Amino acid sequence: MEISTFELLVKRIAPPPAPQDVARRVVQGYFLTITNLEFKPLTYRIRFNISKPNPAGDPDRTLFNNVILADDIAGANNLIPLSGGANSTVFGGTFTLPARQTASVELLPKPNLFVDQNPDFEVRGFVTLSLPRIKGQSQSTTPVKVLLNPEIRGTFLPNDFPGGTGGDFDQIAYPLTVATGKALNEIVSDQRIVIPTITPEVLQSLPADAIESLLDADDLEKSQSLIQLMAQLDGDPKNLENLSDALSKLNIPVRVSST
């Protein structure tokens, strides 16, 4: 499901030639408070779909190598590995939330960006949340209930930061509208993948976003999908050739044959 938009910033609130003393640097992150209302633990996948950098390849307009993804239930932050490469527009990670528990999931700029006196990090996009398969199986046969509260939080840095230990640190925080218009939502669990015999026609009609979704999957999910696919194929050389083509589309360097 779509949750909200997001905007991450590390930059001055006004561009040069505005004087630095009235154009302080702002550091802005995305926070999602989420409650698992079910009576069992669930694993969620959160994805950040960014606007394409303009110009292409601008390192200040991507999440790659610029952010930290973490979750916090009632203790220290737990870092979440974030998928996605230098040219990706979709970045994602998974986290597990115990039954009836609330967590804060945070997407934050890396601290090394703060020391630049004239930073220009700026990324916008939208956030989605799903319930991925676990060991190839759906986590729930019925929609699961969650409470969602997305918001933006920011800090204004004093101009002598990081040189001084004091200074004027101001904070901002504002809620974001949930796409459904309500805090209480239901998420349908991803179903087990059932793939029939692959033909060239199937490969040609494969939606680009389906490939993008699998590219964003973690290694375990890719392996599970691959095993499920191979289990449904017979040893016909044409089927195996089509399977190899499908793996190539998913950047999986494996070819299969009947010999």
C-alpha to C-alpha distance for 192 and 231, rounded to whole angstroms: 14
- Residue 125: pLDDT band (50, 70, 90) is very high
Q: Which two tokens mark 212?
A: 């993008």
Q: Which two tokens mark 180?
A: 């459904």
Give the relative orientation of helices 237-249 and 219-231 as an angle to the nearest 10 degrees: 160
DSSP-based three-state secondary structure for 151: strand
User: Would you list the domain boundaries of the chain?
Assistant: 2-187, 200-249
Non-local CB neighbours of 46 within 8 Å, separated by 6+ positions = 32, 69, 92, 93, 94, 95, 105, 127, 128, 129
pLDDT tens for 60-107 read 999 999 999 999 998 888 999 999 998 899 999 999 999 999 999 999
Residue 77 has a pLDDT of 87
The residues pairing with 185 across neighbouring beta strands, listed in sequence order, are: 146
Query: Strand pairing of 144-157 and 25-36?
Result: antiparallel
Q: Which two tokens mark 88?
A: 């990706």
The model carries a pTM of: 0.74
C-alpha to C-alpha distance for 78 and 93, rounded to whole angstroms: 12
Give the burial string for 165-190 (b: 16+ CB within 10 Å, else e).
eeeeeeeeeeebebbeeeeebebebb
State the Cα angle at 162 between 161 and 165, rounded to 5°.
Answer: 80
- Residue 112: pLDDT band (50, 70, 90) is very high
How far are the Cα atoms of 22, 118, 119, 171, 248 from residue 19, in angstroms, in the given order?
Answer: 6, 12, 15, 21, 53
State the DSSP string of 85-144: -TT-SEEEEEEEE-TT-EEEEEEEE-GGGTT-SS-EEEEEEEEEEEB--BTTB-S-SSPE
pLDDT tens for 9-34 read 999 888 777 776 778 888 999 999 99
Note whether 25 and 157 are within 8 A (CB): yes
- Residue 156: pLDDT band (50, 70, 90) is confident
Residue 160 has a pLDDT of 73
Window from 51-65, 167-181, 183-197 with minimum mean pLDDT? 183-197
Mean pLDDT of 148-169: 82
What is the average pLDDT score of the chain?
83
Note whether 148 and 97 are within 8 A (CB): no
- Going 83 to 178 to 188 to 232, the CA torsion angle's sign is negative
Ramachandran angles phi, psi of 229, nearest 5°: -65, -50
Residue 236 has a pLDDT of 67
47: closest CA among 88, 104, 98?
88
